[in-house]
Chains A and B, each alone.
Chain A
Amino acid sequence: MRVLVVEDDPVVGPDLAQALREAGFAVDLSIDGEDAWYRGDVEDYALAVLDLGLPKLDGLSVLKRWRSEGRSFPVLILSARSDWTEKVEGIQAGADDYVGKPFAMGELVARVRGLVRRAAGHASPLLAVGRVTLDTGRMTATVDDRPMRLSPLEYRFLDLLAHRPGRFLCASEIAEHLHGTDDAADANAIEALVLRLRRKVGPDVIESRRGFGYMIAGS
């Protein structure tokens, strides 16, 4: 599995590459933004670890270019600036995770593995229920053909409803599927989850009926 490491520091870059190689990845090391952009554009990587402070072209611009050109491999941002504002900026630019420097190598390798695992799904038959279409391999959702930015949990919730079309699922049943428990507090939490999800996908996409539970409208 090929991973692109973009880091200009002469010690950190090779060390990171080495650690990822030891973890079983095939690693390419890039030391400036323009080179990284080119490689990410023409090569097929499973993931990129991207430093933000790069010569020639800064990391955030590289990431934006990749995303605007349709390159969708997961990107883990590695940066000396680990402010929340920058994390938010990075995620909004299309990054999938953010690690601040200095970092523990073990933690970084674990986060790389997690990202790769999550993104490993290949394109698969789409599951269309009502106005919702789920790509079960990539774990992405569209509503009326508009792509939605869902959290993994929100995706799992929609996936659960989509697999039981035409049936109301009660909160405790959903809680049990999502968290493995069905106590009353978790049922309340499901209400909060639906509230948030409705704000993202629209108020009519998830239908609820008192005493019965939830289902995708029109399924």
Chain B
Amino acid sequence: MHKSVAYKTPVEDAAKKAVLLMGAPNSGKTSLFNALTSLSHKTVNYPGSTIDYSMGKVAEKFRSQFSLIDVPGTYSLFPKSPEEQVAVDTLYGKTHLGFAHTIVAVLDGTQLSRHLYMLEQLRQAQFNLVVAITMADILESEGAVVDGKMLSETLGLPVVLVSSQTHQGLDQLVSCIEQSFGCLPQPLLAPPLWDDQKKSILISENNRLRDKVIQTSSSMEPGTLIHASDSVDKWLMHPWLGPLFFVAIMTLLFTSIFWAAAPLMDMIDEWFGSAAQSISQADSSLMGDFFANGIVASMGAVLVFVPQILILFLGISILEETGYLARACSLIDKPLSLIGLNGRSFVPLLSGNACAIPAMMAARTIPSKREKFITLFIVPLMSCSARLPVYALLLSFLFWGQQAWKPGIALAMIYGFSLIIGALFASLLDMYLPKDQHSFLIHELPQYRKPMLRKILLQSLEKTWSYVKKAGPIIFVFAVILWIATTFPNYKASTDVEKLNGSFAASMGKAIEPIMKPMGVDWRVGTGLVSAFAAREIFVSAMALIFNVTDVDEDSLQASLLQKMREAQTPEGYPLFTISSVIGLIIFFVIALQCMSTVGVARKEFGNWTVPLVQVVLFNVVAYGLAVIAVQSLRFLGFS
């Protein structure tokens, strides 16, 4: 027996009415949401890009008043992954948003026949429905004729053909939504638990509906299987060449972070370098030192790496937008399944190279709880953009004066190393976690789409700017704290070395020096490592402050810092930064979990504190242990 669910008392005020967009993944819900609300939620050519619900008011230009809710895509009312559960919970008013008055069933016009399954479920559950057939512009360009009137008569529902690109049909859709407010919905039925017999009836009903609809369109005849993407897939999804293309594309992405960003980085670097030097020369007082070293040099040391972060975001966006990302998930499914993961884990893991926070949320698309757990556990091991300034500095030190492709390859190797470490942890969890019966791929590959470069560039700039906004204040505050700690109380000392050695930072740093020594570094680097727990990038600004980079007669900040690092010596007179100690530091940063924001999101996604705390302790202990082993082994083998 179905349980009926009564609506809350309908609200008379139209402005308080909510309209929910429901549809299959990649059916164009978020594009429609953006077109109707004039908002700019991220849309990409990848099924499952929406992982939570979002709400907005219909744009003023439509002269109407209601709220729109966008939810993750789902193929049916039987959710099979956490993000599908969000969609169904919102549909049934189980969130704080309550019930939506009207449901807009969003059906992809180019995939219409397949999207009727859920529409039939929505209809049988007696939702107040309006049907929006998206991609009207694509249908038109392909010469397909869709008779909206006949569709409407066949379905017994208001049907509107819309295009979120050209805004065709949007006024009509808003008008249909307004009309739907006039009719009071029936008491709802809960998601039905159909037995085989009922399911057969539903499927035959679905087929009957589908066949009626198909007759209205020339492009949707059964057996029509060829589309333009096939010719590209012949190469990119070739059984043997496909994996090779995959490796080549990923290598290109991660090496381009160095060579493609270099011209912009040089510009920023020179600007900050000359600004710091000008301030330092104009005012040699304590205040001048504060602005030159404490603010400009330490902020510049981090901001110089922003172009690299932009290139990374651009690369990931291009992969998403073209439709290749979904294919990459399929290509890597088999190797990932061997370590307890799913092809769908690839997106969180790749996004983790930008930032672990959205990456962890992206893991909601993974149907299996076990695979989701393992993915969430290893996401913090991916080399997020906050690590990039640290790697870039340390690699620039190791490859000083050499061609840009060399640190580029080394950076690709660091990303490879983080994958290997992640794979090892995943394998261990795979061995010990109880098995989960419901693991599946069944992954839709969208048609290839020419990337809209302007949109990609704007989205990437927006993400980079939000990175700067998020990290900037923390870096600023710590730059001030570190400047105070490295300047006082001995600020009247005659030399910088004397000033630093008598500073608060030195007193604190020397307390942790015994722990740092096995890693081949002293208290100065130790202070940077401890500061990096506020934000990893602070390690770079800490180095800039501790080594007082504006004092060297160099054109740029980075050159000054690298020069100071080359000259830095231990109290015993040995070089502080050597091949072994720098490799040790890289290993530490690859594994250590220093980002407290990530820990907070992990708590939300795991649903408890235990696992995130295990991650913090485990990753930091392993990071330290492996760094010590690497440094001592390299020294044993004769490397400095």
Are A and B physically bound partners? no
**Interfacial residues, chain B to chain A (CB-CB below 8 A):** none
